Structure 1
């Protein structure tokens, strides 16, 4: 009887009767991204004239009153919002790209971001309701995703058809958002503006907690789906032959992507292109092995925190919303993807 050998580049963790096969390079990249994320959190928390000891004391409520206010009420909630929303967008982008077999198929590209934004803006300027804009954003994301897949001839749609339909749906929701803002009074338009560009300033605490809960449930679920998602990179006939239930997997992947995106937009608004760049960073650093959902989440959180820090400090005291910073960073990268390689290449 032959003893199973460990595949090259992998390690095995034995725990009693069970064993876990893991990819060494992906695990190393994940630990490196987690360490960089922790350092970035510390750096953003202590930036300016605030030292490490002063920030720690303020965080524990034992420091100067003004420093405690700065750390606990202003910086920490903002950092948490950026970390969670970036992680959700990074993971959702990885799922969506794998589902569509296209590196451009991110929630923003297929209209989910615009749908969530339109519903959030509508709750402020068009049909004010007792529901918070963050609650309506999730409904908008689900509506946009459903329209995209229905009009693209079902969840099996692939490639450019999926992208083009998504762009059309996003354009319709974007036009609706602009129309509502154009017809609204100046105060309502100003209140709705952060939901159109992406901002981490004074985010709703309830929405942040809901996003934290969604990530706690969504990331393990995405990891469980990763093996079948990897097989879905092949043709439908090959995936079915390997035992993948395509309809169920596509429905689960789409639902999870919509939930993560809607919760992220409910916190930060449409922070553009995080979902495009973060999965590519994870794949580039970790190699094209598996579906790097967790590494994409870490990369998305890191990118969002750094973009927010740049927006706060680059032209201080003028603040640039994090969504605008990400658009400036991501636009050249998007052009590079389109010009360098065929957009239909598998992620």
Structure 2
């Protein structure tokens, strides 16, 4: 490395740090914008199809937006009773889980005093301490949080609609300052992202139905909800399934007794390994494969910045960036 090149690397490092800090500080603004752009890229084939059919761009963008909002509304409608029941039973589930953990600790340690103290602390007849009880959100908490979430929803809806309406014009404006990339290159990159996301969505949806069916056969409570969550977390590669396994082990220990407690988690791991090692590679293909290290680092970065929203957009953004790089190399 020469002295001449050293300042360039230093400037790039400073630019990266400043960019990450800005994205972190402006998370409430930038996260819904990025999510809307990613969904707009995924929905681009649908809007293009309607445009070729003679449907005005404004109507096509509005129709695509209604599809997304309708799907969100249906999910909320069907999942609300189940989630409400789980929230109402949260204190009981927490006590059962603590009792199970305490029994395991007493068995491993073999100390009768510890077992007696824990059994007394977890006596169901006694009300749990304020510090140990599961704190549920109050109506006041919901009212205080509502304006912030409503603002993020408005940013998301507005960005998604206008991006679908004028994304080609946006590409023209972005590429106007570059000598190599053109709007057609960005359109080609978004087609790759849309094709990848559509394939993964079909795989994950089928996988979620299978997981829900297997858990239903195993008498797991709320099996359809577990299947839906399994499909959702499968979009967050590596980290999502790992967290889901921990949740299944916890739920299995609370619900069942003995070695059967681990049956749901074992069944899920076997299904996930089959899907990850055989199904997805066969359907996605090598042309859309991404370096696992880049996938992991992208997930860690975006999850660290924006939490679940970052986990959703991490892989599509990575594929989009790689596709743009490949388009630039062809010029």
Q: What range describes the TM-score normalised by the shorter chain of this pair?
A: under 0.3
Q: Which has the larger radius of gyration?
A: 2
Q: Which has the higher helix share?
A: 2
Q: TM-score normalised to the size of structure 1?
A: 0.27
